[in-house]
Amino acid sequence: MSISAFSPACILVVDDMPADRELVKQVLSSDQYQVTEAGDGVTALELISKHEFDAVLLDAMMPGMDGFEVCEAIRKDPNNALLPIIFLTTLGDPEDVAQGMKVGANDYIPKPFNAVELKARLKATIEHKRLIDRLDETE
């Protein structure tokens, strides 16, 4: 199964740094991805409540509501229990990674990131989610 076999994957990039959002957007710009941006956690949660995303790329360090709090809030909604969340952040200590996984992230990629690795992990995560969705539809 390939992402391109379906409609473009909708990705929400949540980062308070416009340059970081733009970099991710450039890396993911293709027929496979439609990127939406949010500059803070509150905006991200509003977007998630109104739109269906295939994955969220989430920075941990943001003013106000940090990424860990955003991830917890996303997971509290049963409709988003399987929404793939990948932390993409400069926090790379094992404690930070463990905290990200504890609050419900599917993956954790430290910045600076490798574009090939980001695309591979994102693709695998989305394909896994879409497979689960297809299995749910057959029940």
Digit-coded pLDDT (tens) for 46-76 = 999 999 999 999 999 999 999 999 999 999 9
Q: Look at residues 61, 53, 60, 19 and name the one whose alpha carbon lies nearest to residue 36.
A: 53
Burial 53-65 (b: 16+ CB within 10 A, else e): bbbbbbbbebeeb
Distance (Å, rounded) from C-alpha 34 to C-alpha 53?
A: 9
- The token duo for 106 is 């599917």
Question: How many other C-beta atoms lie within 10 A of the C-beta of residue 139?
Answer: 4
Residue 41: predicted pLDDT: 97
d(CA 41, CA 61): 10
In the chain, where the domains are located: 8-138
pLDDT of residue 123: 94
Average pLDDT over residues 112-120: 95
Q: Tell me the three state secondary structure of residue 10.
A: strand
In the CATH hierarchy, which fold is given to the domain comprising 8-138? Rossmann fold (3.40.50)
Residue 18 has pLDDT above 60, yes or no: yes
**pLDDT-derived band at 4, boundaries 50, 70, 90:** very low
* pLDDT for res 1: 42
Please state the rounded mean pLDDT for residues 109-123. Answer: 95
The one-letter amino acid at 101: M
* pLDDT of 3 higher than 60: no
